[in-house]
Amino acid sequence: MTATFCTSGAVKLRAGSYVSTALTDDNYTTLIDQAQSNICVEAKYNFMDNYASLNADVKYILEEATSALSAIGAINYNTSSYPSPNVAETSLDVNWAIYQNAMKKLKEADYRNFVNSA
């Protein structure tokens, strides 16, 4: 697979300035690929196969969900790189909330109709 829904830069932005510098581009690609697969399965819609035809608004929501879920993996890679456990935990919680909110939109029937007609 390939990182389609977001870039490693978007993941780093969401993970924050304390994310481990030991993560490589390949690590970020792996996290992004895993997130993309999870999003498609959870939404029960293959956004990957239809990505080129999606509306820009849909692509931004996919980017948001993918970068947030990938950032969770990046943060978990080494939480000790954060100044305190609370900072890491807050970053994890914020990214989980962003992911959940985006997935709610991607799964709702009204939104699904918008995606299919966009």
Write the pLDDT tens digit of every residue in 53-74: 988 989 999 999 999 999 999 9
Torsion, Cα 37 116 97 38, to 10 degrees, reads -10
14 or 58: which carries more pLDDT confidence?
A: 14
Structural domain spans, the chain: 8-117
Cβ-based neighbour number of residue 23 at 10 Å: 20
| pTM as predicted | 0.91
CA distance 42 to 83: 33
